[in-house]
């Protein structure tokens, strides 16, 4: 068997058993409110729809248990706040684009609220510098005819970026150790 034949065999086996989903290269992320679509799309994870409202009242415990995280989440605001919160507008439609005042990097959670329900979309720390989200409310809330309801508001919960763990403390160099011993020796001579 040649090296090339072996590589082709491995590649064929991997293609048959592995699928890879690439993160978007642009700063706009498509957010579809259908949970099955989101899980194979741009957000890291999604949950919902949930009954009720998300007006910044969701607890750290609820958000962390929903997404398996351990962050201190901070409510950034919602699109129907005065000045639109962290967004440039509040599109009251079933689909469109939400644009942010400033770029955001993960980890953060985008919430979409329509009628009496909301859905949550978790973006991990691999998402950097996002400026807008294309959305649809189809999976958030539907009327009795199965039609998506207009967006009431979008909101964002942000978490501080993960802290880099400190590196190992370097061991003293032989010269530093010798200097330390010399100082101790001089201190001992002085006492006599």
3-class state of residue 186 by DSSP: helix
Tens digits of residue pLDDT in 66-105: 999 999 999 999 998 878 889 988 888 898 888 899 998 8
**Cα gap 185→192, rounded to integer Å:** 11
User: Token digits for 37?
Assistant: 């679509």
User: Token digits for 115?
Assistant: 């009628």
Tell me how far CA of residue 126 lies from CA of 38, 45, 72, 109, 122, in angstroms: 16, 13, 18, 13, 11
Asked whether residue 5 carries a pLDDT value surpassing 50, the answer given is no
> Could you give the dihedral angle defined by the CA atoms of residues 31, 34, 35 and 38, in that order, rounded to the nearest 10 degrees?
-30
Which pLDDT score, from 0 to 100, does residue 1 have?
Answer: 42
What pTM was computed for the model?
0.65
Let me know how long the chain is.
192
CA nearest to 49, candidates 113, 145, 135, 123: 113
Highest mean pLDDT among 7-16, 111-120, 137-146, 168-177: 111-120
Asked if residues 140 and 35 have their Cβ atoms less than 8 Å apart, the reply is no
CA nearest to 69, candidates 108, 39, 23, 33: 108
Q: How confident is the model at residue 138 (pLDDT cuts 50, 70, 90)?
A: confident
Asked if residues 23 and 42 have their Cβ atoms less than 8 Å apart, the reply is yes
Tens digits of residue pLDDT in 20-74: 232 333 344 444 444 433 433 478 888 999 999 988 889 999 999 999 999 999 9
**Cα gap 49→114, rounded to integer Å:** 10
């Amino acid at each position: 068997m040649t090296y090339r034949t072996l590589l082709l065999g491995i590649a064929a086996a991997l293609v048959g058993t592995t699928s890879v989903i690439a993160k978007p290269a642009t700063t706009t992320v498509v957010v579809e409110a259908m949970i099955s679509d989101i899980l194979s799309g741009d957000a890291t994870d999604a949950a919902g729809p949930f009954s009720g409202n998300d007006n910044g009242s969701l607890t750290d415990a609820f958000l962390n248990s929903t997404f398996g995280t351990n962050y201190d989440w901070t409510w950034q605001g919602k699109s129907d706040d005065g000045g639109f919160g962290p967004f440039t507008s509040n599109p009251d439609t079933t689909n469109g684009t939400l644009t942010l005042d400033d770029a955001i990097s993960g980890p953060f959670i985008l919430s979409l609220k329509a009628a009496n329900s909301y859905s949550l979309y978790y973006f991990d720390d691999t998402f950097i510098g996002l400026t807008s989200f294309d959305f649809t409310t189809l999976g958030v809330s539907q009327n009795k005819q199965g039609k998506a309801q207009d967006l009431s508001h979008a909101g964002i919960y942000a978490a501080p970026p993960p802290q880099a763990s400190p590196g190992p403390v370097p061991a003293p160099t032989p010269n530093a150790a010798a200097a330390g011993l010399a100082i101790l020796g001089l201190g001992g001579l002085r006492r006599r």
